[in-house]
Structure formats: C-alpha cells, structure tokens
Structure 1
Amino acid sequence: MSVFSDAMSVSASGLRVQAGRLNNVSQNIANTDTPGYRRKMTKFEAGDAAGIVQLGRTQLDPSELEKVFDPGHPMADATGHYEGSNVDMIVEIADAREAQRSYEANLKVFEQIRAMSDGLMDLLRR
C-alpha cells in the first residue's frame, strides 16, 4: 500500500501548488487597475520526498510598471502620469487555464489511484 500512498501524496502536492498558483492569479486579476501593483509570480520547488512539489516564495514581477496619463488622478505627478500595474490580463488568463488544467490532471490521477487501491482491497478480501 506504500506505493499507493506515495502516489497519492505526489498528486495531492500537485493539487496544493496549483491551488496556490490560482490564488496568486486571482489576486493579480483583482488588482489589475491598482496603481503601483506588481504582478505576483509563483515558483515551484522540490519537496522532501521524490516527486513532491511545494510552493516556493512568491516573487513580484520586476518588469516596468505601466505609465498612465490621467492628470486628475490623485497619484499623478507634475506631468499628469502615475504608475499603474504590470498585470497583463492575457498572461493571467493563460496562467489560470494552465493551472486549472494541471489541477484537473492531478485530480484525475488522485481518483485513479483511489480506484486502484479500492480494487486491490476488494481482491484481497476474496
């Protein structure tokens, strides 16, 4: 049964990191119009056991912030510009889709392992 529990642990770690990634994407989308907001990026790291992944430190995107011209904005400088966010909705939507599909794939693996484990238990009961 150790093989089944190891495989379930790997799949569960994949579910956790993709859920964390979706959380960062949702925060980025929510703050698209927040002045000075820097996009959060998710890094994955190897865990303690083989195949286990975990979320690394969340990093902020160092790319240039968008310059927005709005002389009436309270944060505008003397030229009428203020720093917007560096969130690109196309990138965020692509990241969300990738994370969603990876989450679904890990969930399928988890369900398959559970079904195989149940089948083995049925065989052993006979």
Structure 2
Amino acid sequence: MDPLTASLRIAASGLEAQTTRLRVVSENLANAQSTSSLPGGDPYRRKIVDFNAELDRVSGASLVNVGSVDEDTSDFTVEYDPGNKAADENGMVKKPNVNVLIEMADMREANRAYESNLQTIKQTRELISMTIDLLRASQ
C-alpha cells in the first residue's frame, strides 16, 4: 500500500477515536449534576476512553482505536442537602465524580486532535490530486 493511502487510513482511525472521545466527554458534561433517584444511591459515574494501537496488516501502519469506555472509579463528592430526593438519612447527597474543568480540557484536546487528523486527510487528498495531475501532464 502506498504511503498516501496509509496516511488516510491512519488519520481516519484518529477521527473515529476522537469522535468517540468527544461523545463520552459530552455525556459526562450532560450528567455532571445528575444525582440518584433513590435516597443514598450512587449518582452518574464519569466515563473515560481507553485507546489502543492496532497494526493494520494491509498498510503496515499503526492505527488507533477505542479499546474500551470504562467508568472512573474515583470517589463521589458528598454535600449536605436534606431536601434533595437523593439524600440519605443524614441529609448527605452523593454528587457525580465529574469535574467540569477536566471535561472541558479533554474536549479541547479531543477537538484539536480531531482537527489535526482532518487536516491530514485534506492535505493527503491534495497530494493525491497533484500526483494525478502530474501523471496526466506527463502523457
């Protein structure tokens, strides 16, 4: 396989991985204030994406893929709110382990990686087009 096609495959795998990461970050942000519907129950637990490198046998290139989407096992924050339906017998409510600042940083990083892969695809397509034009001109 030629290097230009390999670069397209690598960038496409990056786009797919970052799309999953952006979806997970969006889900975390949407549930950042979600509490349990049961008194003393656990709220939404933050999710994290685990990436793996995979060798593409066709191109010989190392591609990125999503290995798994796991739950973050860090502790929940607890605050006193006796009027909340999720409060336990002491009036304490468990809040999700989602830190909005961390999620925004993850979103920015995933967005930049996505844009970088997209730019790689655009430049590779341009190089392929230029190569075709050169081949036409030489005939």
TM-score above 0.5? yes
1:53 to 44, 64, 69: 64
Structure 1 unaligned runs (5+)? Answer: none
Report the structure, 1 or 2, having the larger helix content.
1
Query: C-alpha root-mean-square deviation of aligned residues, in Å?
Result: 1.1
Q: Give distance in 2, aligned partners of 1:21 and 1:122.
A: 38
Q: Give distance in 1, aligned partners of 2:91 and 2:99.
A: 23
Q: Give distance in 2, aligned partners of 1:79 and 1:29.
A: 28
**Residue 40 (structure 1) aligns with:** 47
Count of aligned pairs between the two proteins? 126
**TM-score normalised according to structure 2 size:** 0.87
Q: Give distance in 1, aligned partners of 2:45 and 2:86.
A: 16
For residue 86 of structure 1, report the CA deviation from its aligned partner. 0.3
Larger Rg: 2
Aligned-pair identity (%): 39
**TM-score normalised according to structure 1 size:** 0.96
**Residue 85 (structure 1) aligns with:** 96
* Residues 1-126 of structure 1: pairs in structure 2 closer than 5 A: 2-35=2-35, 36-49=43-56, 50-126=61-137
TM-superposition CA deviations, 1:37-81 (whole Å, max 9, x none)? 111101111123122110111011100011121101112111101
